[in-house]
Amino acid sequence: MAEPILSIRGLTRDFGPFRAVDGVTLDIRTGSMTGLIGPNGAGKSTLFNLLTGALAPNAGSVSLKGRDVTGLSPDRLFALGLGRTFQIPRPFARMSVLENVMLAPTGQTGERILGPFLSAGRVRAEEARIRQRAMEVLEFVTLAPLADQPAGKISGGQMKLLELARVLMGDPEVILLDEPAAGVNPSLTRILIDKIEELNRGGKTFVIIEHDMDFVMSHCDPVIALAEGRVLFQGTAAEARANPVLLDAYLGAMADG
């Protein structure tokens, strides 16, 4: 089997006396669309924050493509190919949709280092290149017609697409999505799923936190369930559906909620 793109070993994070993530060990398969489920407070977002470098673990390690990346900053991890979106997107509201995408880091730290030494012509050429790439990405996520709108004026679902566009500017190999379908109307959810699946077919790996069980069960493989900071289950969607512990303790309760 191919090397996992992410290897998580004994990852642990405490908040004071409370252990939010408790010795999580997981391999994320290269090219998979991995679903991460679990009740509120299970530690899903904390796990994402540990994987993306937003939080430091108390114990454990993370490897990306075989390289130990434990404790690296989000910028470094993004440059190494790991991108994420947030549960609640926060674009710069008064800037246009296009400007928001253009501001996303492209993952190429060389540009930032060389920046002050570039001639005005080079800077203009670079800006034109970034603008063109941003338009292509907006085209892909179907937001190109809104490129000049202030980002604060677009709908919640369109903001999720904008988030995806910003992540795609860096062309990461692994994308962590935090509740992509939450609060998104069905037609935009459809577009979002289509785009995620297209990117996945193109080889990108996704790890998706989602409460919408229909979404997880029909699009994710494997499905991983966390409860109280630990891995409760991992397997296919069919196995998740047939698992009595998940069904009783949790899928049923979530379907009701």
Ligand X SMILES: Nc1ncnc2c1ncn2[C@@H]1O[C@H](COP(=O)(O)OP(=O)(O)OP(=O)(O)O)[C@@H](O)[C@H]1O
Q: Which residues bind ligand X (CB under 6 A)?
A: 15, 20, 38, 40-46
Nearer of residues 9 and 211 to ligand X, judged by Cβ = 211
Number of neighbouring beta carbons within 10 Å of residue 131: 15
In the complex, minimum distance from the CB of residue 227 to ligand X, in angstroms, rounded to a whole number: 9
In the complex, minimum distance from the CB of residue 115 to ligand X, in angstroms, rounded to a whole number: 34
In the complex, minimum distance from the CB of residue 245 to ligand X, in angstroms, rounded to a whole number: 18
The H or E element containing residue 219 is helix 213-219
- Residue 69 is given by DSSP the state -
Exposure letters 140-154 (e unless 16+ CB within 10 A, then b): bbbbbebbeebbeeb
Beta carbons of 53 and 11 less than 8 angstroms apart: no
In the complex, minimum distance from the CB of residue 225 to ligand X, in angstroms, rounded to a whole number: 11
Q: Which burial class, exposed, middle or buried, applies to 2 when counting CB atoms under 10 A from its CB (0-12, 13-18, 19+)? A: exposed
Nearer of residues 32 and 46 to ligand X, judged by Cβ = 46
In the complex, minimum distance from the CB of residue 228 to ligand X, in angstroms, rounded to a whole number: 9
The distance in angstroms from the start CA to the end CA of the chain is: 38
Nearer of residues 77 and 226 to ligand X, judged by Cβ = 226
Q: How far is CA 110 from CA 32, 72, 106, 116, 140, in A?
A: 30, 18, 10, 11, 26
Q: What are phi and psi of 61, to 5 degrees?
A: -145, 160
Nearer of residues 26 and 104 to ligand X, judged by Cβ = 26
The Cα 177–Cα 223 span in angstroms is: 14
In the complex, minimum distance from the CB of residue 48 to ligand X, in angstroms, rounded to a whole number: 8
